[in-house]
Amino acid sequence: MNQSALNKMRNDERHNMSVDILACLCLALGLTEEEAKDLMARKARAFSPADPRHTALLELIRIYAEKKIDYTVDRVTLSTILDDADAYLIERRFDPLPNCNLQREGRTARRSGK
């Protein structure tokens, strides 16, 4: 997620942010489940227990909350932190996470797959 996207979120300029985009932010920041749900509520979104993808995203948030992310590495290496999340979703027959504008900062195009 680039600085422009973060600024728009902070300034509440992006009103219709999807659960997937918010989940990307939660994963990249290593938020806990409680913090992720709080962020979702602040953006008028919620994880639906009836949606299997939302259940998978919540599990990823739990996993990433315990993961130690080194933010001091180079930009290209840092841009791969969500690759494990993509693999997790694809393994469960879900589409990977959206790019969240990271391709402008050196991130390669994400693959799609069901």
Q: Where are the domains of the chain?
A: 3-105
pLDDT (tens digit per residue) in 72-112? 888 888 878 889 999 999 999 999 998 764 433 333 444 44
Beta-carbon contacts of residue 92 (< 8 Å; ≥ 6 apart): 56
Asked whether residue 8 carries a pLDDT value surpassing 80, the answer given is no
Question: Which of 6-15, 37-46, 53-62, 86-95 is predicted least confidently?
Answer: 6-15
Reported pTM: 0.76
Q: Measure the N-to-C terminal CA separation of the chain; round to a whole number of Å.
A: 23
46 and 40 in contact (C-beta within 8 Å)? Answer: yes
